[in-house]
Amino acid sequence: MGRRRRRDPLERRVGELAGFIGLVVFAFFFVPGVRAVLSGIVVLLLIGFGVVFLSLIAWAIYRHHRQSEEADYATVYLAGGKKESTPPSAMTLTRELLDALEWRRFEELVTWYFQKTGFDARRSRVGADGGVDILLSNHGESSPFAYVQCKAWHQYKVGIKPVRELFGVMASEKIRAGFFFTTGEFTEEAVRFVQGKEMTLVDGSSLPAEVNALPDMDRSAILHQVTVGDYTTPTCRRCDVKMVRRTGSDGDFWGCPNYSRQPRCKQTFKLRET
């Protein structure tokens, strides 16, 4: 008696599939009502494929638009206080641009820099200086792991006092890391203070290199956001509005436009501090 040949699993599956297709074709032509059901299924499948296809086209158009828009950002560049058209490779953060930024734009620059490097960064609040300007957290986490302080002081150095204050806030709120950014420089005493601590000092000489090391599109997007509109006139810390230039007994200064209103805001900045 001959041994019966064992069917290959793939061959069996192909046979089952062929039988199923034959059954469907037979039902489509000879079983009442099946044709309508199958036609409806085919229509739904075609609609689904059409939606997916149109979505892919829309996404491709959006990506092309975003890439073109971010490339256009590179045509805006500040050189000595004058906006000029330059190649994308020249869209870099210069020390001159950094010194021209008002305090709020400087904080936004640092915030966007952290966002582009993979963190969730948000500015803490508008108002009087409370020692913390930016809260840093990892994606998916609500609690910050680091505090960031920013000082747009390019005329003089940041001493140990504000650095020690930031460390004190970190310790009291059990924040493990801290960053201190300035457009100027730090004193040697401040640099010595952070040694051995989870604190990083970033001055006006090293920050441009950090920003310029970002991918071209990220860097261009940040610099476009930083320089759009009036980015040199300081913002009132209390009222969150652009200040106006005034003249007093000691010379010109920046004053809040709400000085003559009620409640009166007396916030001022010296011209050299902006």
Question: Does the structure show a pLDDT above 90 at 183?
Answer: yes
What is the pLDDT, as a whole number, of residue 26?
61
Q: What is the amino acid identity at position 27? A: A
In this structure, of 27-31, 86-90, 209-213, the range with the lowest mean pLDDT score is 86-90
Q: Please give the share of the chain, as a percent, with pLDDT higher than 70.
A: 71
What is the pLDDT, as a whole number, of residue 88?
41
Angle at 258 between CA 255 and CA 262, to 5 degrees: 140
Pairing of strands 134-137, 146-151: antiparallel
In this structure, of 23-27, 155-159, 168-172, the range with the lowest mean pLDDT score is 23-27
Neighbours of 269 (CB within 10 A): 19
Say how far apart CA 124 and CA 103 lie, in whole Å: 14
* C-alpha torsion sign, points 87, 91, 94, 100: positive
What is the pLDDT, as a whole number, of residue 249?
77
- All residues at 6 or more sequence positions from 108 whose CB lies less than 8 Å from its CB, including other chains: 123, 225, 226
Q: Where are the alpha helices (DSSP H) in the chain?
A: 9-30, 34-73, 95-100, 103-116, 160-172, 188-193, 207-212, 216-227
- Residues 38-78: tens digit of each pLDDT: 667 767 777 877 777 777 787 677 555 544 544 444 333 33
Say how far apart CA 157 and CA 184 lie, in whole Å: 6
